[in-house]
Amino acid sequence: MAIYKRLYRPYAGRYTGHRFRFWVITKSALRTLFDSRFLLAFFVACNIPFVIFLLIIYITNNAAAQALLQMKGSPILIDNFFFLRYLIFQSTLSFLITAWVGPGLVSVDLSNDALPLYLARPLTRTEYLLGKFGVIFMLTSAITWVPGLMLLGLESSLGPIGWFQRYYWLFGSMFIGSLLWIAVIGLLSLTLSAWVKWRIVATGAMLGIFFALAGFGEALNQVLRTNWGHVLNLGYDINLAWFNLFRMDSVTGPYNKPAIGRLMELPSWAGWVSLSLLCAFCLLMLNKKLKAREVVR
């Protein structure tokens, strides 16, 4: 057992670098989160679709496996829509994990009045936010773009000749599309965490923003006989951006044409603009709230 002298001594050792100081916050929060077995189990379960997609790619590209399963060719076409479906699926799971984890990240510090302790140290408000955002980024990256890029890599190596030349841009689409989604849900959950003290209420508010805004947008469409109400539907917006990134306007497969057609009612920039505005609004609200001391006017 260590024996500690009961005296005060100044610190004379080395310091860690400034650049990645925010990582201390991320690391500590992740350690605390993974103490929860429920979260750990859910996190592992989130990667089950990855395994399924992996198997699909393997079987589709492997004649021996198809023969073993008594299949005459693969009914699944591995193209941009295949990977978009993967992203849509995983982003739903990442939304659930963010809705569970995000609202507790900042509120715990605000309710304990711990911000002055953070900000009295060599840490800026931006770094604090980066540290908290890092938690969501790490969790959601591990179930969106990281396995997504692995799937693309697998298809590039196993797929027919010329597949990579035809679809190489999907790597960028997967990465940027995931980042956009992570930024939207990450900033939204942190903003709600900063402004709503109760975690359950914040989680509810996060779900509410997605569904209530979509309903309001639909109502606007009906009343004003327009399609622009869709911009209030965050799901619609992200799909607009993803359709643009995954070049879905050029898709030719046997897909759900009405659903795609509905997404073509607005130009893709509308999705990008409304999501950018949402992110900017979240940053503005976080800037207002994340202060060591609040000034009561």
Partner 1 sequence: MTAVIELEDLSVRLGTKQVLDSLRASLKGRAIGLLGPNGAGKSTLINTLLGFYPPTSGSAKIFGKDISTHTKELRHVIGFMPESDSFIADMSGVGFVRYMAELSGLPANEALERAHEAFYYVGLGEARYRKVGTFSLGMKQMVKLAQAIVHGPQLLFLDEPTNGLDPPARLRMIALIKEIRDTQGIHIILSSHLLRDVEECCEEALILKDGRIAAYCNLEEERRSNKKFVELETVGSKENFTQAVEQLGCECAWFPTGRAKMVLPENISMRELYTVAAKHQVQIRKMNYRRDSLEDIFLRAMEGQYQPQNKAAQNGHL
In angstroms, what is the minimal distance from the CB of 111 to partner 1? Answer: 8
Of 233, 231, 232, the C-alpha closest to 268 is 231
In this chain, which of 59, 78, 123, 253 binds partner 1, going by CB under 8 A? 123
Tracing tokens 């396995």 back to the chain, one arrives at 147
**Per CB under 8 A, does 113 bind partner 1?**
yes
Tracing tokens 């898709």 back to the chain, one arrives at 251
In this chain, which of 116, 160, 172, 215 binds partner 1, going by CB under 8 A? 116
In this chain, which of 73, 75, 122, 162 binds partner 1, going by CB under 8 A? 122
Binding mask 57-96 for partner 1 (x = CB under 8 A): ----------------------------------------
- Residue 18 near residue 127 (C-beta atoms within 8 A): no
In angstroms, what is the minimal distance from the CB of 128 to partner 1? Answer: 9
**Per CB under 8 A, does 295 bind partner 1?**
yes
**Per CB under 8 A, does 292 bind partner 1?**
yes
In angstroms, what is the minimal distance from the CB of 246 to partner 1? Answer: 41
CA-CA distance, 233 to 151, in Å (whole number)? 29
CA-CA distance, 142 to 126, in Å (whole number)? 23
**Per CB under 8 A, does 9 bind partner 1?**
yes
**Per CB under 8 A, does 5 bind partner 1?**
yes
**Per CB under 8 A, does 126 bind partner 1?**
no
In angstroms, what is the minimal distance from the CB of 117 to partner 1? Answer: 5
By three-state DSSP, how is residue 46 classified? Answer: coil
**Per CB under 8 A, does 108 bind partner 1?**
yes
In this chain, which of 92, 124, 222, 287 binds partner 1, going by CB under 8 A? 124
Apex 254 CA angle, 174 and 165, nearest 5:
45
In angstroms, what is the minimal distance from the CB of 296 to partner 1? Answer: 7
Q: Which two tokens stand for residue 106?
A: 């900042």
Apex 39 CA angle, 35 and 45, nearest 5:
135
For 198-214, b/e burial (b = at least 16 CB within 10 A) is ebeebbebbeebbeebb
Of 134, 129, 101, the C-alpha closest to 203 is 101
CA-CA distance, 219 to 225, in Å (whole number)? 9
Size of the residue set binding partner 1 (CB under 8 A): 40
**Per CB under 8 A, does 36 bind partner 1?**
no
Residue 124 or 287 with smaller CB distance to partner 1: 124
- Residue 42 near residue 143 (C-beta atoms within 8 A): no
The residues of the shown chain that bind partner 1, judged by CB under 8 A, are 2, 4-16, 18, 21, 24-25, 28, 32, 108-109, 112-114, 116-124, 291-293, 295-297
